[in-house]
Chain A
Amino acid sequence: KLVFPLYYGFCRLGAPDFYPQTLSCAEETLTKEYVQSGYKDTVEGIEEAREIVLSQIPYLSKPDIATKCKEALKKRFRAINESRAQKRKAGQVYGVPLSGSLLTKPGMYPEQMHSNEDTRRKWIEALVQPNRRLWSLAEQVPRGFRRKLLFNYLIRYNVPLLRASWLVKVTYLNQVRSNIIQ
């Protein structure tokens, strides 16, 4: 039920409903005014006295306005969904075509390589070694970790939590990527 935010489209804005502390948080600056009257956010574009009275009840309660608006919303909703679907088909995601070098070596996360039982086992054994660097292991992440099998490997070889998390992410991101390309 809870809609946890995905970050891609919010990279300009930061995560929604999340406001990291800055070096100059105004609310932590004790001025005489703040101490006496309390801290208040300022709102650009709206006078303080107007904040309360603004309402669309007079307009949207008129006959047919809300009904027409619903129809228009549905139309746009279909347009957004159709456009998203077309872009997925065309191999575009969020304005960036997946082709050429982008497919060969995605910069965001490691690609997986063909493997068998033996290479998977050796690679996991290496993953458990603290002195083996993730960046070198990332060059040959084996394919074939599927659902329960992935977790069985992580448990059987007692992979440290942070490295286990990393492998889970790599595995599922590769699955997402392959879905997009289909």
Chain B
Amino acid sequence: MAANFWTSSHCKQLLDQEDVDKVPQADSDRGITLEEFRLVKIHMSFHIWRLAQQVKVRQRVIATAVTYFRRVYTRKSMTEYDPRLVAPTCLYLASKVEESTVQARLLVFYIKKMCASDEKYRFEIKDILEMEMKLLEALDYYLVVYHPYRPLLQLLQDAGITDLTQFAWGIVNDTYKMDLILIHPPYMIALACIYIASVLKDKDITLWFEELRVDMNIVKNISMEILDFYDTYKIDPQRGLPEDKIAPVMNKLPSKA
């Protein structure tokens, strides 16, 4: 698929970590700390992931949806844009952009099924369609997103370590619980994941990295961030964040349902 990240809106909109880490004023006024802000984004990234499994879309759609979600909250508050509704709507929008369309009524059905006990997740098709319009505005209608998966496959092949494909792919998947995609070019994220995978699987590709002529300092720093994430958040692979951690935060956020 022909594409050029370097002339894309995605490239032009790359942010610094401190810009991504600004808690919107309306949320700050409700007592939401930076750490809690991060927790909500992690929690809803899991929500998107679980919902996506129900409607059977591919990883690329999830990645795009999560990117939209995280980008929205660099511009809008969670107070004004209910993350419980934004998350499924991002998935809905991403499914169209990535040519894997999911019907809104199917999303509504599975949300009800998944969150039956929580009245704050009671949405109708109309809510998703209305939020879709708001999201398009919030995203300035720039919908094309570049992901590390494609450079990952190329780079693994070039390094001669395609046996690490699944392992490294899993790490890339995990980076969507973080904001890396808003901050770094996709190939740098891919390189960081390969770097981690090669160390854990004891593959010495030092010579390959030497010849790549990339700033290894940045690759190392991204790798450290990824590993810090695993160290910091005790996450259940299926359920995500512990309920006792996330529930108090979500309760601070008003619901549109």
The reply to whether B3 and A94 form a contact with Cβ atoms under 8 Å apart is no
Instruction: Flag whether B141 is at the interface (Cβ < 8 A).
Output: no
Q: Which residues from B are CB-within-8-Å of A77?
A: 216, 220
CB distance from B12 to the nearest CB of A (A): 9
Distance to closest chain B CB from A63 (angstroms): 9
Instruction: Point out the residues of chain A lying under 8 angstroms from B11, CB to CB.
Output: 2
From B16, B62, B223, A1 is in contact (CB under 8 Å) with B16
* Chain B stretch 130-177: residues in CB contact (< 8 A) with chain A: 146, 149-151, 153-155, 158, 162, 165-167, 169-171, 173-174
Bound form: Cα–Cα A66–B209 in Å? 21
In the bound complex, do residue B186 and residue A17 qualify as a contact, i.e. CB atoms below 8 Å apart?
yes
Interface residues of B in 203-223 (CB under 8 A from A): 206-207, 209-216, 218, 220, 223
- Contacts of A165 on B, CB cut-off 8 Å? none
Counting chain B residues whose Cβ lies within 8 A of the other chain, the interface size class is 35 or more
Distance in Å from the Cβ of B115 to the closest Cβ of chain A? 20
- The answer to whether B4 and A69 have CB atoms under 8 Å apart is no
A-side contacts of B9, CB under 8 Å = none
Contact (Cβ within 8 A) A76 B206: yes
Contact of A19 among B3, B53, B98, B149 (CB under 8 A): B3
Which stretch, B26-34, B106-114, B227-235, B244-252, touches the partner chain A? B227-235
Task: Given A43-B149, A54-B166, check contact A69 B200 (CB 8 Å).
Answer: yes
B224 close to A (CB within 8 Å): yes
A117 at interface by CB-CB < 8 Å:
no
CB distance from A100 to the nearest CB of B (A): 22
Contact check, B211 vs A73: say whether CB atoms are below 8 A apart. Answer: no
* Interface flags, B68-107, vs A, CB<8A=1, else 0: 0000000000000000000000000000001111000000
Query: Separation in Å of the A16 CB from the closest CB of chain B?
Result: 4
Given contacts A76-B199, A80-B210, are A70 and B224 in contact (CB under 8 A)? yes
Q: Is the CB of A5 within 8 A of B187?
A: yes
Q: Contacts of A22 on B, CB cut-off 8 Å?
A: 2
Question: In this complex, what residue of A is CB-closest to B227?
Answer: A66
User: Is B210 a contact partner of A61 (Cβ separation < 8 A)?
Assistant: no
A13 within 8 A of B: yes
Interface readout for B17-39 with A: 1 if CB under 8 Å, 0 if not? 00000000000000000000000
CB distance from A72 to the nearest CB of B (A): 5
Shortest CB-to-CB span from A48 to chain B, Å, is 6
Min CB–CB distance B145 → chain A (angstroms): 12
Q: How far is the CA of A65 from the CA of B101 in the complex (A)?
A: 39
Return the contact of A3 from the options B167, B185, B210, B233 (Cβ within 8 A).
B185
**Beta-carbon nearest neighbor of B202 in chain A:** A72
Query: Does the CB pair A38–B101 fall under 8 Å?
Result: yes
Complex Cα spacing A66 to B100, Å: 35
User: Judging by beta carbons under 8 Å apart, are A55 and B166 in contact?
Assistant: no
Does A41 make an interface contact (CB < 8 A)?
yes
Known: A2-B14, A27-B1. A9 touches B211 (CB 8 A): yes
Q: Measured between alpha carbons, how far is A52 from B101 in the docked complex, in Å? A: 17
The reply to whether A12 and B230 contact each other, CB–CB distance below 8 Å, is no
Q: Using a CB–CB distance below 8 Å, which chain A residues touch chain B?
A: 1-6, 8-10, 12-13, 15-22, 25-27, 37-41, 43-46, 48, 50-58, 60-61, 65-67, 69-70, 72-74, 76-77, 79-81, 83-84, 87, 94-95
